[in-house]
Structure 1
Amino acid sequence: MSDKKVKVAQVGDLEEGQMKSFEVGDGNKILLSKIQGAFYATGATCPHYGAPLERGVLSGERIVCPWHHACFNAKSGDLEEPPARDSLASFEVKIEGDDIYVMIPEEFKGSRTPDMVSYDPGSENRSFVIIGAGAAGSMAAQTLREDGFKGQVIMLTHEDRMPYDRPNLSKDYLQGDAKEEWMPIRDDDFYNKYGIEVLRKKHVTGIDIKNREVSVASGDSIKYDRLLITTGGEPRKLDIPGADLQNVFTLRSYDDCDRIIAAAENASKVVVIGASFIGMETAFSLTKRKLKVTVAAPEKTPFSHVFAAEVGELFRKKHEDIGVQFRLGESVTEIEGDGKVKAVVLESGDRIEADMVIMGVGVKPSSEFLKGLELESDGSLKVDEYFNVTEDVFAAGDIASFPYWYNGDIIRIEHWRTAEQQGRYAAHNMLDKDKPFRSIPFFWTAQVGLQFRHVGYVRDWEDVIVKGDVSKGSFLLFYVKNNRVQAASGIKYDKEIDAVEELMRRDRMPSADELKDGSIDLLELVRK
């Protein structure tokens, strides 16, 4: 098949450091980028969830998605940062006079599977074992193959499922808007093609560091040359009377979500304990199933420990507008019922009738099986900037406490994209690439019509710089400590949030004083 030569623009249509999408026929689009005077063409939509990439930012050679911050190389289309798993297709560009042409194949595809190798024991006899098949583990397995590792790659998961899109559980899947076939991260053919073994229903019971073995509940042991621990977290449950009653749930796994959906069919009133991300998303999703929802939590406002109070108040108001009730500033002391939930009791003595209860009170690292490794006080594993725990053992994701290069703190983050980023870096370093972790955390939530983005990490901020109006749901907040922007969050400022992440990653973020001055154009600065 011969490529079709399509005129898309003229050389004066793009400024340096700019990208634009152009139609190339049959409804297809390419993204044209101008970098150091040269033009490059890639697919125009993010392979993760279809975001239009021209609404993101071009930072040097890096394209940043406006929705969930997947990153791609603008010259090659190669995947650089998750949550996308595929790369962008790239297309040949020709300049004739002032006209720009792009060579379009007859069968147009805007994305592609990254270049990867498969299992070849004849050329590599080492075995890399990954405990856990969530965000970090599945991303690490793919990255090992991208990096050219041809040895054995084994993922162990206690679930009876292939890796799936966990963030969707509390969102579209719980609402009933996501089909079951949308949930797997990859189809089975992918794992078969690239020789990635996913061993399901494998409950790991221990690790023998000296003999490099992983033990599972069946009594079997699996040898490894290098090990990556990505077991993530497990939901906390309140230690209160009635916590073990029927129809008391936590939401972490696919099976958890299916049980909640089944119970919701015969329920009318639900109490969500906790005003965290998972609690608030769950509350919203259950309103879509026509349930009467009450959120009960000890904090005064939702998200109060991680965001400015005005943000929590905005979400609370939007939830109340659709009928969600709140009992904040009070702890739940008991769940009443006769085998099955009937009510939740608050410390004031007030009772809230319920026939379902969802506990969204946080997670703890899933690390009880780790007898031979030293754990932090919260049960996590402390890693270095390469995600190394000890000789030939690595850890990534929710289970890992890591040095955050941007502020020097040792932190642990329970976000999907961060876990994927860490799994990718851990895989690089399992292959001795010596790549220190220099990414910036990013989190998103979608609920009650709000698309909220947060980049960076900070606790105990000293000041908040506000652009826009939080109460109207259109704002950009900068969280400041020691005159340095540590994090930013916003709604309807997706492009600016992209720019902040890149400026932080490149250590070029303006100071708080410069931002207060109002003369800084973040979008212009990130292009330089």
Structure 2
Amino acid sequence: MAQEYKLKGLTSLDLKAGEKREVEVEGIEEGKVLLCNVGGKTSAIGARCTHYGAPLVKGVLTGDGRLTCPWHGACFKASNGDIENAPAIDALPSFELSEKSGGVYVTGEESAIKNSRRKPKLRVNGKAPEKVVVVGGGSGALGAIEALREGGFTGGITMISSEGHTPYDRTKLSKALIDDHSKIALRDEDWFKDASVDVVYDQVTDIVFDGKKVATKSGNSFSYTKLILATGGSPKNLPLPGFKDLGNIFLLRTIPHVKEIVSAIGSKNKKIVVIGSSFIGMEVANATSKDNTVTVVGMESAPLERVMGAEVGKIFQSQLSKSGITFKLSAGVEKAIPSSTDSSNVGGVVLKDGTTLEADLVILGIGVSPQTSYLQDNDAVQLEKDGSLKTNEHFQLDGHKDVYAIGDIATYPYHGPGGNGTPTRIEHWNVAQNAGRAAANHILHPDSDPKLFTPIFWSALGSQLRYCGATPNGWDTLTLKGEPNEGKFAAYYSKGDTVVAVATMGMDPIMSQASELMRRGVMPSKGEIEGGVDILGIDVPAL
């Protein structure tokens, strides 16, 4: 039941336009709300991000009332707490404000104040004839479903997933090797029932676009009026001797993969070879290094060189080396060889220079391919060279106005800084969610303009890395600020004089601020950054 609570230390609502302030709530242990003044009007909302609990007072409040989390880029409406951008899946609670007797009060439920979370009201009473089928059970699928129900869609929704689980936080697999679905589930079965969403655990084998039907491995068929394809990526294997034949060589994409890895590691003291100095490879190396001997093999001269550049990659290498991780870089793999004690399992990895790395287990982190195998022989669609599907800014499939493709399988026009509409495929967890929300918005409002967003990702590389933007046309200059040798920096990637991406470590608010400046097209130039402009001092204007 809603009650009135006094805000500690406030005698009046004296916030200036653009100001935000975290305030304690009297009578509620650890209870806090966030006050935000947008355009002269002050609102009270939850104080912590619903994604990982970041203090939103350290985030970015824009002139058009968007509040962005300082850690992972989740964004909310400051006026009422509604979700603007992923990776948050729950909105913030909002509270009524009042002034009286020399004090300021909020009215709301104690649980909402303490939990800083508002569950969406998604129950549907009576269904409209429209039917949306969502193929896939990841973050993109969930983003689309939530946005449809939040937006008032009353038709039928069916989610077909081959994983056998409700959507979960896939980022926790490589970052923490969590293999218990209950600990990382984003929503449970009851949530889908309450939202009138039919969940089907099956594998899609074909789509009849002319007849608007989806066929599955079990022989079932599902009709649709709108179709959202969100099948994600498939981890790549190495087509080299030994890698398909020997045991204890693992991919990493799903909960069963992690269960296998955890089982093979056992208690500790294993020799682990991670092939691939990608984000997945680096994260799983970090996650397994505490009680094991870990070696990372990479083709680049520095980890993540292709994306981040050698200078920044060497910072990550230094950070992980402190945990005892060894690196074999500028290295090619020749083959996997069997164990001397068990010829069915791997015993080592031979590099092209002749070096043999002993291994009790091998983990591959060499990237993913779009999971579109069910469309390879379908004459109604044309796959791109990498196996992805080409879409427009609404994520509508090229040539199919009632079909959308999101996440790892979508190549879409990128309009961020330096993008200029370049067809781009981005394998970020929150890009999939935001694409799902964008597709849902277009289903609900077909005449609306595209809702553009800034791609964001994060990674656990000894310390937390944050990154915003994209480089579909590459970058040619890196401007590094901060204390890189201490693992505290802001890296600005530029194409010409345009800053196209920003990465931070130990300087989180800079990434969130940059993402909003990019969204509004007011990100300072390379010259301005080199000249010492502090982007945290720039107000993000209203649209």
TM range (shorter): over 0.9
CA-CA distance at 1:126 after TM superposition: 1.6
CA-CA distance at 1:366 after TM superposition: 0.4
Task: Give RMSD over aligned pairs.
Answer: 1.8
Contact preservation (8 Å) 1:272, 1:357: yes
1:190-218 Cα distance to aligned partner (Å, 9 max, x none): 11101111111x11111111111111112
1:525 equivalent in alignment to 2:531: no
**Aligned residue runs from structure 1 range 390-401, under 5 A:** 390-401=400-411
Q: Partners in 1 of 2:2 and 2:445 — Cα distance?
A: 41
Secondary structure of 1:392's aligned partner: strand
Q: Which residue of 2 aligns with 1:452?
A: 465
Contact preservation (8 Å) 1:6, 1:104: no
Q: Which residue of 2 aligns with 1:278?
A: 280
CA-CA distance at 1:300 after TM superposition: 0.8
1:141 equivalent in alignment to 2:145: yes
Secondary structure of 1:150's aligned partner: coil
Q: Which residue of 1 aligns with 2:444?
A: 431
Letter paired with 1:446: A
CA-CA distance at 1:139 after TM superposition: 1.1
1:342 equivalent in alignment to 2:347: yes
Letter paired with 2:146: Q
* 1:472–1:145 CA distance, 2 compared to 1 (3 A): same
Q: Which residue of 2 aligns with 1:112?
A: 118
CA-CA distance at 1:14 after TM superposition: 3.2
The farther-off stretch of 380-389 and 5-14 is 5-14
Secondary structure of 1:499's aligned partner: helix
* 1:157–1:327 CA distance, 2 compared to 1 (3 A): same
Q: Partners in 1 of 2:249 and 2:527 — Cα distance?
A: 49
**Aligned residue runs from structure 1 range 467-478, under 5 A:** 467-478=481-492
Contact preservation (8 Å) 1:135, 1:417: yes
1:217 equivalent in alignment to 2:206: no
Q: Which residue of 2 aligns with 1:512?
A: 526
CA-CA distance at 1:104 after TM superposition: 4.2
**Aligned residue runs from structure 1 range 76-475, under 5 A:** 76-96=80-100, 99-109=103-113, 110-118=116-124, 120-121=126-127, 124-172=128-176, 174=177, 180-200=181-201, 202-244=202-244, 245-265=246-266, 268-288=270-290, 290-337=291-338, 338-370=343-375, 371=378, 372-389=380-397, 390-406=400-416, 407-408=419-420, 409-433=422-446, 434-448=448-462, 450-458=463-471, 459-475=473-489
Letter paired with 1:14: L
Q: Partners in 2 of 1:79 and 1:70 — Cα distance?
A: 8
Q: Partners in 1 of 2:347 and 2:301 — Cα distance?
A: 25
CA-CA distance at 1:435 after TM superposition: 3.9
* 1:171–1:105 CA distance, 2 compared to 1 (3 A): same
Q: Give aligned-pair identity as a percent.
A: 38
Q: Partners in 2 of 1:119 and 1:247 — Cα distance?
A: 50
Question: How many residues are treated as equivalent by the alignment?
Answer: 520
Letter paired with 1:222: F
CA-CA distance at 1:515 after TM superposition: 2.1
TM-score normalised to the size of structure 1?
Answer: 0.95
Q: Which residue of 2 aligns with 1:491?
A: 505
5+ residue gaps, structure 2: none
Letter paired with 1:405: H
1:78-110 Cα distance to aligned partner (Å, 9 max, x none): 111111111111111123487533234354442
CA-CA distance at 1:460 after TM superposition: 2.7
Q: Partners in 1 of 2:149 and 2:362 — Cα distance?
A: 43
5+ residue gaps, structure 1: none
Contact preservation (8 Å) 2:411, 2:425: yes
Letter paired with 1:395: A
TM-score normalised to the size of structure 2?
Answer: 0.92
Letter paired with 1:444: W
Letter paired with 1:315: F
Q: Partners in 1 of 2:216 and 2:346 — Cα distance?
A: 35
Q: Partners in 2 of 1:117 and 1:80 — Cα distance?
A: 21
Letter paired with 2:23: F
Contact preservation (8 Å) 1:454, 1:490: yes
Letter paired with 2:424: I
Secondary structure of 2:174's aligned partner: helix
Secondary structure of 1:112's aligned partner: coil
